[in-house]
Structure 1
């Protein structure tokens, strides 16, 4: 995944994280969204594994 696609995902996950934290009621899927935002924002070495998983999920659901 290139920076061109990573930046919109980071913005999306950031906005979702902000809205979820404001609601003060975080479920497991909401926690996963906040986790993904943290991975994309931090750009740790784990990001390539998570990116591969997210890309695989996107490919499965859009095909």
Structure 2
């Protein structure tokens, strides 16, 4: 699958997730987990940026 196709799928499912959260069908924290799972599963070009962000957040909260 090309990067462009993978990115369009990510955007499509991201919009669906946002619509579900706005309709109160899915709590916000579940939507975050869905998004992170999708990025890690698909490993799109945005994977590296998201991975760095998640690593930074976990490093900040780890004692």
TM-score category (smaller protein): 0.5 to 0.7
Aligned pair count reads: 39
Partner of 1:50 in structure 2? 50
TM-score, normalising length from structure 1? 0.58
TM-score, normalising length from structure 2? 0.58
Partner of 1:41 in structure 2? 41
Bigger radius of gyration among the two? 2
Which portions of structure 1, spanning 4 or more consecutive aligned residues, are displaced by more than 6 angstroms? Answer: none
Alignment gaps of 5+ in structure 1: 1-24
Q: Superposed, which structure 2 residues align to 1:1-12 within 5 Å?
A: none
Q: CA RMSD in A?
A: 1.0
